[in-house]
Structure 1
Amino acid sequence: MAESATSHDDERRATARRSLSVVVSTALLCVVVDQAIKGWALTALADGRPVDVLGDLVQLHLVTNAGAAFSMGEGVTWLFTLLGLAITGVVLWAASGLRSREMRLLFGMFLGGVLGNLVDRLVREPGFGRGHVIDWLQVRGFAVMNLADILLTVSVVGLVVVMLLRPREIDEVTHEHEGEGPEEGAPHAQ
């Protein structure tokens, strides 16, 4: 009996490590690509003139943003930095309980989006924790955004779809962190 419990614990730890590894590696890839594009935008779009991609419907246009979406909260940039750090901690904590590839990838994309903008807030002007986010993709009548923003949006929509179509996966994450694990014999994706 003790051998079975040890085997189950070893399996849970291996699943947690694998899950965390997928989430973190996905997030890091997203951050590298996001920061590379922002670096390119700072150079290629420095003259401030928009570049048409699909006429004036979609343009490349460099903007620095001290706030959040739609430039809201420009005076409290430091708050977005703290929020980004807190969200990072929560995502990393929850990641170890993920069982499906889809959830791991979506959490990784979400974390990549959070970290992509958090890097800007930590290292860009006007200073540590107050840095402005680099946006470069403008959609007429909507907003100027970046890859991190797109990752956040796509991953949140994806997570909502998974929760609606497969609510059991959310239950498994919750039970995993409560120490219960999934029900005995319950199928789960790896």
Structure 2
Amino acid sequence: MAEAERVIGMPDTPEAGGAEPEESSGAAAPEEQPVSRVKRKIPVLFGVALVAYLLDLGSKMLVVAKLEHHEPIEVVGDLLRFEAIRNAGAAFGIGEAFTVIFTAIAASVIVVIARLARKLYSLPWAIALGLLLGGALGNLTDRVFRSPGVFKGAVVDFIAPANFAVFNLADSAIVCGGILIVILSFRGLDPDGTVHKD
């Protein structure tokens, strides 16, 4: 309707007729740019997620093959060691009685991120959400495929700092992604690339 009123309101002159294609091309440019921006950011999101997922998966396979049922490896004296444990709870061993619930939450996070990706214009947000997605997929893989059963599997943790909970690379990716999201939110940067000021 607005387009019809604009065309009707234009003077019927050769100059106006010559300007009309420029008006159309100028109006089309803002519509085309978001599409190209989305195409650039979606690969970043899934690329970061893939790298985080593969690093987590590879490290867990190595830990299960070489470290499980063996003595911990001291990396930095008493400050940091690698020790294989199976964690049925959430990140850092929290809530071991709610494995199925945490599995459902991880699956929901993956779905939400996948839906949000369609409107993702911001590179920092793509990196942050990619870390979250890769970490969630890493731990979800354990919960689905490891013992004691589907959706009840225990996650493989192995990074053991002194006086701290044991965790894995997926947990690290999730925490880093979450911290980055908090920073971006405080700076007023939205996932669609716009900046707002409160």
TM bucket (normalised to shorter chain) is: 0.7 to 0.9
Contiguous gaps of at least 5 residues in structure 2: 1-22
CA contact (8 A) 1:68 1:80 kept: yes
Separation (CA, whole Å) in 2 of partners of 1:83 and 1:21: 24
Which residue in 1 is equivalent to 2:127?
105
Describe the shift of the 1:2–1:132 C-alpha distance in structure 2 as closer, same or farther (beyond 3 A). Answer: farther
CA contact (8 A) 2:93 2:166 kept: no
Which residue in 1 is equivalent to 2:171?
149
Measured against aligned partners, the alpha-carbon deviations of 1:61-88 in whole angstroms (never above 9, x if no partner) come to: 0001010133222122111111111101
Is 1:7 aligned to residue 29 of structure 2? yes
Select the structure of larger CA radius of gyration.
Answer: 2
User: 1:10 Cα shift?
Assistant: 2.7
The one-letter code of the counterpart of 1:22 is: V
Describe the shift of the 1:64–1:5 C-alpha distance in structure 2 as closer, same or farther (beyond 3 A). Answer: farther
Which residue in 2 is equivalent to 1:66?
88
The one-letter code of the counterpart of 2:126 is: R
CA contact (8 A) 2:93 2:165 kept: no
The one-letter code of the counterpart of 1:20 is: I
Separation (CA, whole Å) in 1 of partners of 2:178 and 2:100: 23
Contiguous gaps of at least 5 residues in structure 1: 184-190
Percent of matched pairs sharing the same residue: 31
Which residue in 2 is equivalent to 1:187?
none
The two structures have a TM-score, normalised by structure 2, of 0.79
Superposition CA RMSD, Å: 2.1
CA contact (8 A) 1:17 1:96 kept: no
Which residue in 2 is equivalent to 1:128?
150
The one-letter code of the counterpart of 2:88 is: A
Separation (CA, whole Å) in 2 of partners of 1:130 and 1:56: 32
Separation (CA, whole Å) in 1 of partners of 2:115 and 2:24: 27
Indicate which of 132, 137, 141 corresponds to 1:115. 137
Q: Matched residue of 2:121: which SS?
A: coil
Indicate which of 44, 52, 77 corresponds to 1:55. 77
Q: Matched residue of 1:130: which SS?
A: coil
Which residue in 1 is equivalent to 2:105?
83
Q: Matched residue of 1:56: which SS?
A: coil
User: 1:157 Cα shift?
Assistant: 1.3
User: 1:94 Cα shift?
Assistant: 2.0
Measured against aligned partners, the alpha-carbon deviations of 1:127-157 in whole angstroms (never above 9, x if no partner) come to: 2111111001101111100001111111211
Give structure 1 regions of 4+ aligned residues with deviation exceeding 3 angstroms: 1-7
Separation (CA, whole Å) in 2 of partners of 1:4 and 1:85: 42
Separation (CA, whole Å) in 2 of partners of 1:7 and 1:129: 47
Is 1:26 aligned to residue 35 of structure 2? no
Separation (CA, whole Å) in 2 of partners of 1:48 and 1:153: 28
Q: Matched residue of 1:96: which SS?
A: helix
The two structures have a TM-score, normalised by structure 1, of 0.82
